[in-house]
Amino acid sequence: MRRRFAAAPLAAVGLALTAVLLPATAATAAPADKATVLSGWTQTSAASSSAFQAARADQGAWSAYGFDWSTDYCTTSPDNPFGFNFSNACSRHDFGYRNYHAAGTFDANKSRLDDAFYADLKRVCATYSSVKKASCNATAWTYYQAVDKLGG
**Residue range of the domain that includes 123:** 26-150
Residue 5 lies in a domain: no
Q: What is the pLDDT of residues 47-56, one digit of tens each?
A: 999 999 999 9
CB atoms within 10 A of CB 65: 18
For residues 1-35, one letter each, b for 16 or more C-beta atoms within 10 angstroms of the residue's C-beta and e for the rest, the string is eeeeeeeeeeeeeeeeeeeeeeeeeeeebeeeebe
Per-residue CA distances from 49 to 11, 135, 149 (Å): 36, 23, 23
Catalytic residue among 93, 113, 124, 136: 93
What CA–CA distance (Å, rounded) separates 98 from 73?
12
Task: Let me know if residue 55 belongs to a domain.
Answer: yes
Residues 71, 56: Cα–Cα separation, whole Å:
11
| 93: annotated active-site residue | yes
User: Distance between CA atoms of 73 and 79, rounded to whole angstroms?
Assistant: 7
Whole-model pTM: value is 0.80
Q: Express each pLDDT in 86-143 by its tens digit.
A: 999 999 999 999 999 999 999 999 999 999 999 999 999 999 999 999 999 999 999 9
Domain membership of residue 4 (yes or no) is no
Give the CATH number for residue 87.
1.20.90.10
Q: How many domains does the chain have?
A: 1
